[in-house]
Each structure stands twice: as C-alpha cells, then as structure tokens.
Structure 1
Amino acid sequence: MPSTDTEAVRALPDRGLSAGGLPAERNGFVGRTAELARLLELLGTDRMITVTGPGGVGKTRLAVRAAARAAGDFEDGVCFLELSALRDPDLLPHTLAARLGLPEQDGRSRMGAVRRYLAGRRLLLVLDTCEHLVEACADLAWDLLREAPGLTVLATSRQPLNVAGEHHLPVPPLPVPEDAEGGGTRTAKTHPAKTGAARAGGAGDAVELFVQRARAARPGFRLTPANRADVVRLCRRLDGIPLAVELAAVRLRAVPLSELADRLEDRFRVLTGTRRGVLPRHQTLRTTIDWSHGLCDASERLVWARLSVFAGTFGLDDAREVCAFGELDGDEVVRGLVGLVEKSLVLRADDERGTRYRLLDMLREYGADRLEAMGGTETVRERHVRRHLALAQEFDAAFLTDGQVERYRAVRAAQADVRSALEHALARPELRRAAAALATALWGYWHIAGLHTEGRHWYAKVRSRYPAPVRERAWALAKSAYLGAFQADPAAADEARECAEIAGKLDDRRLTGRGLAYLNLSLTFRGRHEEAEEAARKALAMLEEAGDPVGLVTLETQIAYLRLLRGSVDSALEWCRRGLDRFPPDSEEAWVRGYLHYVWGAALFRRGAYERSAEVGALALDLKHSLGDAVGTAYCLELLGWLAAHERRHARTALLLGAADPLWKRAGARLGGTAIMERAHEDAARAARTALGAARYARYAAEAAARPLDDVVQEALTGAAFTPREPNRGLTERETEVALLVRDGLTNREIATRLTVSRRTVDSHVERILSKLAVASRTQVAEALPARPEGP
C-alpha cells in the first residue's frame, strides 16, 4: 500500500493524452460505425464539417478517430487544435499559428501568416470544442477556406458554426436495447435502429460501452443473463450518453450492479419526477453528474468545485496552493483529489514534469457552477492568480541560474492557466497590479518558447489598463520592446524609448537601463549600429548603477553581437568574456551562455581560429538544444555548417544547413536577415553545392530537414561524418509509373483513380519511391527522376 497520500495519487492509472499530434485514445472505441463511415465520406467530399451534439456524447472521440483514418488523404497531415482552455478569441489565430509551427518573430499579422502557410497545402484542420468561441471559429474557418483551396476543416461543437458550405453531422447517444432480452435497440429519434445489437452483447451500443468500462473498473466483470436486465435498465436511464455511462461504470468499484441501478433509478425519480419518457440529453447528463457528485463525500465535492478554476493540467502543489484554505487543509485536498481520480472525475495527464491532472470540460463546468453557487469563486480565482504569479516570478527571479530548464518547463506546462490567470486578473481592478506583474515576469518564457506575438498581446492589454506614465506601463513597454525587436518591428524602438522616458521621470535606474538596452537590441537588428552603440553606452551606465545582473549580462551579449556585426572581432571576444565571467565555472544556465558561446565561436571563425571555433560552437549548440531554444539551435547549426565548408566536408555542410532550415522558417528569417551572416551562409552553401552538384546538395539538405532534430544535433556534437542516403534508382515498372504521376503533381487519391488501384496501395508505392530515390518529400521526386523528354 502507498505510504503517503502523494504516493497514493502517483499510483493511480495514467489516462492522459499523448504529447503532440492527435490525442491518444485512453480506452477502447465503441460503436459509431455508421457515424464514422459518414464522417469519412464527408471528409472526402466536403471542406467544412461540424460534428455537433450535446456534451459528453463523444464528438471529440469520433472526430479524432476519423482524422486518424483520413490522415493519409492529406499530404500535409492533420493539425489538431484543442480549444477548451482558450478563452480569449483574439488569441485564436496566434494559437493556430503556434500549433502549425509558424514564424513567431514576424511582425505581420498572425492570421496572414496562417493564410500564407495553408494557401498551397492539403491539410486537415481539426478545431475541437468550439462552442465557447463560435464566432471566432466561424470567422477563422471562413477566412481560411476561402484562401486555402486544399484545406478541410473538421470542427466539434455543441452548436453549428453556421459557416457557408458547412455540413452538420449530429452525433446521437449510443443505442440502448429495448429490453433485457435484446429484442432491438432504442436510441434518439435521429438514429437508425440497430436490431439485434443487444442480442450480440453490444455491437456498438451503450451496453457494450458499459461492459467495457466496467471491466476496467472491476476486472472480471462480464455480462450474463442474470445481470443483463440491470445493465440495460441503467443504460436506458442514462439515455445512452457515453460520458454518463462511463461515470456510472466506475462506481462498480464500490457498489454492486443491482444496487447501482436502483440508486440511479431513485436519483432520476427524485430529480425529474416519475415521468418515464426520454429525457432531454443535457438534462440526462446533468442529472448523471449530479448523481456522481452526490456519491462524493463533502471534501471531494469541495475539492472538485475549487479545482474547476484550472484551465489546463495541474500538479499536487498547484492543487494544494489554490484549494487548501477554510474547511480544507493540504492533506484533505490531496485525499479529495485521490478520491476524484479513483472515481474518474479527475484524469491523470502525466507529462515530462511528472504526475499531472485535469478535469474534463463538462466536469469543469459543473464544478464551476457549484463553486459559484457556494459563493467562493472570487476567492479561489484570486488564489489561482497568486499561484501562477508566484510561479512566473520564481522563473524570472532565478532566470539565469541553475535549474533554468526545469523552471521553464514548469511554466510551459501551466501555459493554459497562465493565460486564464492573466485574463481574470486584467478584468478585476483589484488584481490588475498582479496581472501587470505576472506579464512582466513572463518575458523570458515567451522569448524562449517563441511566443513573441502572444507576449506582446498581453503587454498591450496591460498598457490599456495603465494609460498613465506609471511603472506598470513602463515595464509592459520594455518587455514588449524586447520581444518586438526579434520581430524586426520598428515600433519596438518607440516602445523602448517611451519606457526609458517614463522610468526617467520615476527615477528608476533599473527600468531606465532595461528600456535603453532593449532600444539597443532593436536598433542592432535593424542595422542602425551607431545609434545602437549610443543606447548601449547609456544603458550600461544605468544598469551598473542599479546593480541589475540579468540586465547587464543580457546587454553584454547584445554588445558582443553588435561588435561582431561591425567587424570588431577582438571587442566582440572581450564582451563575450565579460558576460561569461558573470557565471560560475560549473553553471548550468543555458540561454545567455548559449548565445555568448555562439558569438564567441562566430568571432573565432571570423578570425580564422577554426578548430577552437568548432569546440565553442559545439558547446553553444549543446546548451541551446538542451533548453529547446529553436532559433539559438539554428544559429549554432549554421556556424558548424560554415566550419564544415571550410574543411571541405561538403555533405556535412549540406546536412547541417538543411537541418537549420526548418528552424529558420519558424523564426521568420534566416540569421535575422543580417547581411554579414547571410554572406557566410551563402559562401558555405555555394561551396557545398558546387562540390556535390545542385541536386545532391538539395537532397542532402532535405534529408537533414526531415530527420529528428535530436539525431542531427547528436551527430553534430560528436563531429561524426554524416552518412546521407544514396538513392537506389531500381524502381519497378509500377513504381516508375507512380513516380512520374507524383512528379506531375497528382495526389495519391488521384493516382489511385488513374491506375484503378486502392489509395493504400499507392501510399505504399510512394513510401518505397521516396526511400529508393533518397528524397524526403514528394516535391523532390521530380529532381531525382530523369528530365522529361523535349517535344510532344
């Protein structure tokens, strides 16, 4: 037996979602054969489909299953966007852009970036849980469908989006047998009868679902003639709503089946009267959740209500900090959480940080209603804001110290709740100062995560609450200027100047210094080097007077880069040394030290100290990749690629520069568009292209871009020779025929129609063709095939 409450929680089963891609199915998929077939049919003919139905009916499960089945029909894949934790409609385009991996350091419209990205792609976009953002989702879908002819949108919502051309697919509850003997099924009027489903022990009906979940709750459970009547009675009372059936099945851990059916029958009589007709779907589910709530003890009910303020996943410490007050102490919160997980009312959602938890949307809404009814919402929400303010301030205060990676991951895991806390605090006058402090503390997170546009979105909201020249406004201007500099936004310099002006009036040396430092950064990126030097000189004096080590080392890194761009190699090396001397020899800090080592390595490259440059560049790459800093990793891969070109290791050059290419696309511009650095890139690429030939260079670069980044970085760090795949052109006659059609731009489905074969057969042919030709994508097949003959 677990010895502590914490161990008890960690011993509970994991029912979380997979990281990235489509959500993992936590348990077996039951029924929905007709609905799945119809949805797959619609995905092949329509471009806007909305799966509609009441909460708990299984819309998301159906959409995920269909998207997984249809993924092969979309050459550019599936993008799944889960929206339940998103409350601000203004962030919808940004959230989609981030999910697509689009450039964040781009000052242009995020919606414009999404349009441009999707315009030439064939992709399935799944918008899950749209009902609280109906207008925003409808506008997004309509806009994208007009601009991207290869896009298909699949939405799930409790109501249609009402977009032109939208096809609604209502999802009814699962069918329920008419009687215990299985003489037919009963379901919603819109659902065709499935005669004989009960006789077969399920065949996709509510009874089958109950039995499957009951076996998970109580191993050994099986459907028998003796217990069938109770199962049918229970499923009928729950009206076949999957979530309601699953909640009931979990109770078999503690209550015998016959008693469970009786209790539920009594519960419905009390809540809905004695009329035995079919209940409205929402009333059925609400009553079922009421019933599950009634089976919880007082502490579990209170914990459930207070946990409803969490928008995303949360940990044990989060639950204690937010929920433990008044009638509940920390131990009672943990015991209540254990009980809720055991009853499947709270789900495990483990991630890289360990054990995490989450509430399903319907159960979160129910808990929020209960919390509002008992009058505790504002207190719990304020504690939620304070908890995430403390998390962000801990990250910021120790930003450049050991444990940086772990603290960054902690904030990343709480991103949905950080958003929720910001939104709530900005709406409450008494919490606006907390909102400003929270936004200010998150600047480093937003930068490392590449969320520059979102960070500036929140800083703009803070400034709108503080129009007067006060400290909160100045800090919001400073941090927005820092993020904006990486987007090459000219407004960033104006924001930095206003910050410095306000800070000067407040006689705040640290804040003035930060404003001037971020002015230096903006001017450096825009090529205005003389003005950048002047801003740096003033900032340095202010930050030294204020004793701001984070501001100083960040500025020293910027000055080192500025001197490198100006050709002052010795000065750049001196500023790198100054910055690195601020850290102890055994420091584990990765962000600033990674950039300092990159500038150091690039300066050594400019000087001609190639061997030492490779050593320093490899250390910079290791630091940046360990943190997950994509742009910093790209800089380091570039440097190692230039060194490989100098050594005439041309395949290695092509592979390193190719691996950096998708990272640059995320950043918005290779090397920030800096002319000096761009020339170094072109010199290295030209040498490799000349030695290898244009086609082979392109093939090697594409191969590297398609490899897992971890693998490329590992090979780059060891200095091992890359071994690119050489093409095996031994295509069969059929593979040659398919390859020529791919070259001509036909999709797999079109090729299947042309050759009168199944699409799955074409999929297999294309995979073998890519392997034999040693190319990473369909677009490169044309380069690897012989040229088309001239003439007709």
Structure 2
Amino acid sequence: MAFGVIQRRTGELPMEVTGFVGRSAELRQLEGLLERARLVTVTGPGGVGKTRTALRAAARLRSRYAHGVCLVELTGLRDPELLTHTLSTCLGLPEQDSRDQLDVLVDHLREREILLVLDTCEHLVDACAMLADILLRETRAVTLLTTSRQPLDVPGEYTCPVPPLPVRDVDGAAGTGNAGAGAGGADAGDARGGGDAVELFEQRAAAVLPGFAVTGRNRADVVKLCRRLDGIPLALELAAVRLRAVPLGQLVDRLEDRFRLLTGGRRTALPRHQTLRTAIDWSYGLCDAQERLLWARLSVFAGSFDVAAAEEVCADAELPREEILETLIHLVDKSVVLREDDEEHGTRYRLLDTLREYGAERGELGPARLRHVERYAALAADFDARFLHDGQLARAHALRRDHADVRAALEYALALPGTATTAAALAGGLWGYWLATGRMTEGRYWQTRVLERFPAPCPERVRALSVRASLATFQRDLAAADADLSAAIELGPLDDVHAARAHAHLQLSLAAQHRFAEAATVAAEAERRMRALGDRTGLCVLYGTMAYGFQLAGEPAKCLAYCRLGHRILGERSGEHWLRGYLFFVSGMAHYARGAFEQSAEDVGRALRLKHELGDPAGTGYALSGLAWLAAADERYERTAWLQGAASARWISAGSRPRLTATMERYDQHVREVARAALGEERYALLRRRGADCPLEDTVAYALDEPRAASPRAAPRPRHAPADALTRREREVAALVSQGLSNRQIAERLVISKRTVDAHLEHILAKFGASSRTEIAARLAAEGH
C-alpha cells in the first residue's frame, strides 16, 4: 500500500497517486458491512494501510449515498472539544448559528444520506465514540466509516481488521510477516511468487530505483525482507527507499542484524507495533544528525507546511536556516516527509501521523513549539492589522489552509509557560478570520479559553470579552453579546482600541434589537473613541453597523450616507471583500426600501460577488434573498422562487435557518406569499427545489448574469460550465463519448473501471446541463473541441 496524496478541497476524498496493492478480501468485507451497518471501524496497527483501504472502499461506494462522501481527517486535531467543529468545517457548515455546534451538526445531517469517513480516531476515541453514538441515534441515513487502532466500542459498531500484507515464501507457502501460514487465500496474490507484500515492495522499489524488478535471483531476499517487516506497508516503503544507497542483499543483511540485536538472536515473532517501530528506528538511524533534528522539529506542525514555515519554525543556531531546504529534501527522499504539489498553493509538505508521533519523541520541542506559536501569532496580527486592506481574500484563504496549525498554535500557547499573553493576542487577532470564514462558534470557544487564563481585569480580558461578544452578535445570540459587552465596557478605564470596539459591537447588538435610541448614543461614544485612537478598521466597521441600524430603523437616506462613509475609508479600488460585501448589501436594501430597484440590484449583485469569492455562506444567502425580492418586484416569480430556494440552501450550508431581522423576515414572507400565489403551490415548490439543488457556482452565475429584461415566464436555468471547465480526465471521457463509444468501451480504452466512467459521465452531464450523450457531442462541437 502507498500513502501519497495530493491537495484537495476540505472533505473531498484524495486522488490516489501511487499504486494500490491487494486488499480485495478486506474491500469485499467492507462493502458487505456497509450494506447492513451504519458504523464500521477499520482497525489495525499503525502503518498497516487502514486509511488507504477505507478511502478505496469509500470511493467505490460513493454512488450509494445520495449526498456523497465526506472525509474528516483527524490527524492534526488534539482537542476533543473541537471534533464537531472539524466535522462541520469538512461538511461546509460555517458556524453562523449560535446554537451548540453538535445540535447544528445533527440538524444538518438528520435527513441526509451520506458516508462520513472519520480517519485516525485512536487519539480521540472517546469523543469519536460519543459523536458516532449520537449520529447513529439522531439521524436517519448517516453512515460512518472510521479508522482507528482500536474499536470505538459503540453499540451497532462492526469492525473490519486490516492485517499486514501477506507474504508468500519462495516455495509457495503463504503467510503474513513472521506469523507463518494462514493469511493467504485470494489475497495472498502471486506478485510473481511473493504475494502482495512483495508486489508492493517491487512497486515502491521501482519508483526509487528505475528498472528494479523481482526476479528468480532476488526473490528470496525480497521475501525475507518483507517477512522480516511483517508485511507492514509503511515499513516496506521505508525500506524500499534505501535501495538508492544500499544494494538489496546488504539491505536484508542490515535489517537482519537490527532484528537480531533487538530480539537477542531469537527468531520469535515481534508484536507488529514493535516491527513498525523497528523499521522507523532503522530509517531514523540512517538519517544524519541534521535530518534527525529536522524530523523531530517538523512534528510540531499539525497540518501541511511550506519551506518558509519550516525555516521559520525549525531553524536555530544548531540547525541554520540555510540548511533547512536541503535537509528537507533528504527527508523527502527517505519517504519520511511527503511532498504535495498543488496549482493553487504550490509545493507543501507533511509528515504521516505515525512518523509525526515518532519525531515528537525525539527531541526537546519546547523552543520549536514557541517559534510555531510566534509564527502564527504574527500571521494573526498581520491579518488583524490589515483586515480591511487589499489582499484580504488571499490572507483569509491562507489562514483557512493553515487552520490545523492555527489550532495547534493556540493549544501550544495556552499550555507553554509564559505564553498566555501571546495566546490572547493570537485568539483576538483572528477575530476577522473567525467572521470572514464563518467560524464564529470556534472563535468564541478560543476566547473562552483565554478568559479562563485572565480572570482579573486587564487588556487581554477586555479584548477577549469584546471579540466573543462581536462573534455572538453576528450569530444573533444577543443576550450573550450584551453580557460580554457590558462586562468589557465596565473595564472602560482601559481606554484602548478594544474597549472602543466593544462600544461599536454594543451598538450593533442594540440596533439588531431595534433599540435605536440607545444604539445611536453608544455609536457616538464609539466613534469619539475610535477617532481619538485613529482606528481606521474600527471606524469602518462602526460605519457599517450604523448603516445597518438605520436600514433597520427605516431611514434609508442615513443608511446610504454611512455606507458611503465606509466605502470612502476603504477606498474606491479596495480589494477588501468582507465589509464591502455587507456595505453593498445594506445599501442595496436601502435602495430597495426606496423603490430604486435598478440601483438595488447593482449593489446586491456586487455583494453577491464579494461574498461568494470570500466563501461566506451567510453573506451569500443574504444577497440571494435580496435578488429574489428584486425579482418579485419585477413580477418575475419563477426567478423569485428559484432564488429563494438557492438562498435557503446557503442558509442550510451555514448551519442555520435564515437569520433575518424582523424587517427582512417580513420582506421574505411577503415575497414568498406573492410568488406562491402567482405560480401555484406545486410550481413554486418545484422551482424552489431546483434552486436549492443547483451547484453554488451555477447559482451565482445565474443570479448575476440573467438579463433583467428576460420574460418572467421563462424557467430559471443556471449558466453551465464550458468544456474548458472539465478536468483532464473528464475531457478525455467526453471526447470518447462524442465518438460514440459506450461506457464499457471507454473504460477499456482508458484502462479504468466502468464505474469510474459512469461517475465521470454524471459530472460532465451536470456541468454541461445536458441530459443525453448526444448533447455532450454537440456541446464539444459547438466549442470547437
């Protein structure tokens, strides 16, 4: 089994980039278990291939589940309190809702037919067991496939043990590692006489030593090596890498010497975890001092990292910065570190969980963890200082990519001696990140952890209270927001930017409660403080909240005036997305209230573009709702129903029902009733479902590009992707479809399974908005392909 993967979007299954060997019996067993059970745990020792086997099964069974498959990788997660947040993120559920995240998660999954793959559960076994038990009881059709070194021990759980790969002796006797015979069967494979373990070693050895093959001359040595390593895939991969420097015969002799030393010369079976440990020890022993040191220090990263991050966190006088890259390359060559190439993020690296655990035991990591904290604290401070500046989108996406290490840095900072102030700065500096990416609940969690460290009055407490209240306000948890803001303002002698922003957040909270007179008084005080402090960011946010308050109060002229103030501070050419998106939406609603529908449509369309690019589902939902109301004003009721359905899907993806104010709720209800009366209940419901089911990219394209002069009776249709939007493999399949080949013929031509061709064809039809194979051919011909 091989372990390489490529970068992908959160929750998606990785593409296999190295060969998959054997496991036919385990895959058959998994398929059978998943037909009759809703919780299946793939068990086995570290490095045996549990993840690859589970992912291969999930990919093969994807079509069984109406809502697909979602992969939740738990390797980098250490805090069990964040398990539900991690699953929500993988499902695309930003934490907009103020309810307990587990309640949001259960509500989202209650009627969904989905396969959740929870990978690497053993270090969070209690939390995973609790979550699995709740999901099994509270949802109808959620199935869980988990991997763990031990079962979860939950009622209804079935286990599928994954043993090491079988090894067949030269004389034909089958066995697994040192265990002797009994593991052969159909999966013993032949691999030209050696079984699956030998086949895997041959594949991996050929990758590092071109031309390597198992022959009659070397088969005995390969079988001996595979048996000595118990057929454990990770151990075999680590051994294969050594062929670059050591001939096969010497490799076997050295391994024999290592095991003889450890077992006192006895050829008794070692426990398999000890076998893997020995193989890793062996690889570690073949590293030089610099490589060992870097291996240990890289273990502080919870997720993937680039060269700059490795240099910043791992370098010191003992391991100079200029030596990091060369040493990292050596670790990649030895298969200790995996390289991942991605068009969007460039080259990044990561450690397998087993090798990360090993590295963490091999050095004093306090200084490296401190540098790790300092790195992410600096990124948070930069994001805070430039939150409303150009480049916000790229900085937000970068932090989202490094989210596992943001969490790890917070954990380190809260645990290391003398770093509590840094932890407070890190958690507080991310306030805009929590908002922009919809992680309000997790942001509140970290502020609570900070408040536990700072129970007495101090600037850190003021900031944590202020940020927690701001996040609660955006979740419309107004009682909690008021309590935190009142507590922050009572510490008002600390007249800094955080206390001033607390007043701004209070103003927003009061406006949301329609306490407009109080909100105006608080806003004036907040503006006075922020002007005195020269707080540009605070003023921008304040003007946005004041505009929102006046829009709710039914004073569109004042609302528009404050929107203009906010845009003036940001600048006409600003690349900022989060606040500009809300300013355009609020001004669009003010124009709507005045009957200026053309201007309203222009502003709400701008808001939709900005919120979609940022990945803000709540903001996208607001904008789609506004466009639905505008469609109703034009008496385009089919478009109205379709857009209302699309907006409802965004609210569901945000983890909550629409969090509209009373005023906006009245608009929405009125529009819904008018459209339903015009279309009839059945037609309205059908169009609403179509809007909800449409992919997000197509939804946004339709919402923005549909001409306003179009007939109101025309059924809304999304703009479909051009042929260039297909993946390379999809283009190959589409071309062969246009030649008239059947799915089976295409599978044979491309040397892939028919099921894979079926899946590709479904994706092509969806992207083209086509219903038949002939439409695919016509589309390719029309676009000159």
TM alignment of 1:66-77, pairs within 5 A: 66-77=57-68
Q: Which runs of 5+ in 1 are unaligned?
A: 1-12, 727-759, 777-792
Distance (whole Å) between structure 2 residues aligned to residue 146 and residue 628 of structure 1: 32
Partner of 1:754: none
Q: Supply the AA of the counterpart residue of 2:299.
A: S
How far 1:259 moved relative to its partner?
A: 2.9
Partner of 1:782: none
Partner of 1:702: 689
Q: Deviations over 1:411-462 (max 9, x none)?
A: 1111111111111211223011110000000111111111111111110010
TM-score (norm 1): 0.86
| Native 8 Å contact 2:175 2:183 kept in 1 | no
Determine whether 1:340 maps to 2:331: yes
| Native 8 Å contact 2:466 2:499 kept in 1 | no
Determine whether 1:438 maps to 2:426: yes
Q: Supply the AA of the counterpart residue of 1:377.
A: L
How far 1:557 moved relative to its partner?
A: 0.3
Identity across matched positions, percent: 54
Partner of 1:252: 243
Q: Supply the AA of the counterpart residue of 1:638.
A: S
Partner of 1:500: 489
Partner of 2:587: 600
TM alignment of 1:166-181, pairs within 5 A: 166-178=157-169, 180-181=170-171
| Native 8 Å contact 2:175 2:181 kept in 1 | no
Distance (whole Å) between structure 1 residues aligned to residue 164 and residue 188 of structure 2: 15
Q: Supply the AA of the counterpart residue of 1:592.
A: L
Q: 1:520 to 1:212 in 2, by over 3 A?
A: same
Determine whether 1:108 maps to 2:96: no
Q: Supply the AA of the counterpart residue of 1:386.
A: E
**Residue in structure 2 matching 1:558, options 524, 542, 545:** 545
Distance (whole Å) between structure 2 residues aligned to residue 524 and residue 327 of structure 1: 57
TM-score (norm 2): 0.87
Q: Deviations over 1:382-437 (max 9, x none)?
A: 11111111111111111111111111111111111111111121122301111000
Distance (whole Å) between structure 2 residues aligned to residue 678 and residue 257 of structure 1: 73
Determine whether 1:483 maps to 2:475: no
Partner of 1:218: 209
Partner of 2:373: 385
Distance (whole Å) between structure 2 residues aligned to residue 545 and residue 465 of structure 1: 30
Q: Deviations over 1:675-696 (max 9, x none)?
A: 2212222333334334433333
Q: 1:199 to 1:23 in 2, by over 3 A?
A: closer
**Residue in structure 1 matching 2:361, options 352, 369, 386:** 369
Q: Give secondary structure in 2 for the equivalent of 1:468.
A: coil
Q: Deviations over 1:511-532 (max 9, x none)?
A: 2211111112222233333332
**Residue in structure 1 matching 2:89, options 88, 98, 109:** 98
Distance (whole Å) between structure 2 residues aligned to residue 395 and residue 37 of structure 1: 49
Partner of 2:174: 184
Partner of 2:348: 356
Partner of 2:404: 416
Partner of 2:783: none
Q: 1:189 to 1:420 in 2, by over 3 A?
A: farther
Distance (whole Å) between structure 2 residues aligned to residue 525 and residue 162 of structure 1: 46
Partner of 2:597: 610
Number of residue pairs the alignment of both structures matches: 718
**Residue in structure 2 matching 1:317, options 308, 323, 347:** 308
Tell which deviates more after alignment, 386-395 or 220-229.
220-229
| Native 8 Å contact 2:167 2:195 kept in 1 | no
How far 1:534 moved relative to its partner?
A: 2.5
| Native 8 Å contact 1:509 1:545 kept in 2 | no
| Native 8 Å contact 1:183 1:199 kept in 2 | no
Q: 1:775 to 1:475 in 2, by over 3 A?
A: farther
Partner of 1:18: 8
Q: 1:77 to 1:15 in 2, by over 3 A?
A: closer
Q: Supply the AA of the counterpart residue of 1:511.
A: H
How far 1:484 moved relative to its partner?
A: 0.5
Partner of 1:48: 39
Partner of 1:737: none
| Native 8 Å contact 2:648 2:658 kept in 1 | no
Tell which deviates more after alignment, 157-166 or 425-434.
157-166
Q: 1:190 to 1:664 in 2, by over 3 A?
A: farther
| Native 8 Å contact 1:183 1:196 kept in 2 | no
Q: 1:669 to 1:167 in 2, by over 3 A?
A: closer
Q: 1:636 to 1:82 in 2, by over 3 A?
A: same
How far 1:125 moved relative to its partner?
A: 2.5
Q: 1:454 to 1:161 in 2, by over 3 A?
A: same
Q: Supply the AA of the counterpart residue of 2:351.
A: L
| Native 8 Å contact 1:30 1:204 kept in 2 | no
Distance (whole Å) between structure 1 residues aligned to residue 562 and residue 418 of structure 2: 44
Q: Give secondary structure in 2 for the equivalent of 1:56.
A: coil
How far 1:181 moved relative to its partner?
A: 4.2
How far 1:151 moved relative to its partner?
A: 3.1
Determine whether 1:636 maps to 2:617: no
Q: Supply the AA of the counterpart residue of 2:164.
A: P
| Native 8 Å contact 2:175 2:182 kept in 1 | no
How far 1:325 moved relative to its partner?
A: 0.4
Q: 1:191 to 1:486 in 2, by over 3 A?
A: farther
Partner of 2:507: 520
Q: Which runs of 5+ in 2 are unaligned?
A: 719-754, 772-785
Instruction: Indicate the RMSD between aligned Cα atoms, in angstroms.
Output: 2.7
How far 1:466 moved relative to its partner?
A: 0.5
Q: 1:666 to 1:73 in 2, by over 3 A?
A: closer
Q: Supply the AA of the counterpart residue of 1:481.
A: A
Distance (whole Å) between structure 2 residues aligned to residue 29 and residue 694 of structure 1: 52
Distance (whole Å) between structure 1 residues aligned to residue 577 and residue 132 of structure 2: 40
How far 1:88 moved relative to its partner?
A: 0.7
Q: Give secondary structure in 1 for the equivalent of 2:146.
A: strand
Q: Deviations over 1:114-165 (max 9, x none)?
A: 2333333333332211111111112222222222243332221111222233
Partner of 1:626: 613
Q: Supply the AA of the counterpart residue of 2:516.
A: H
Partner of 2:52: 61
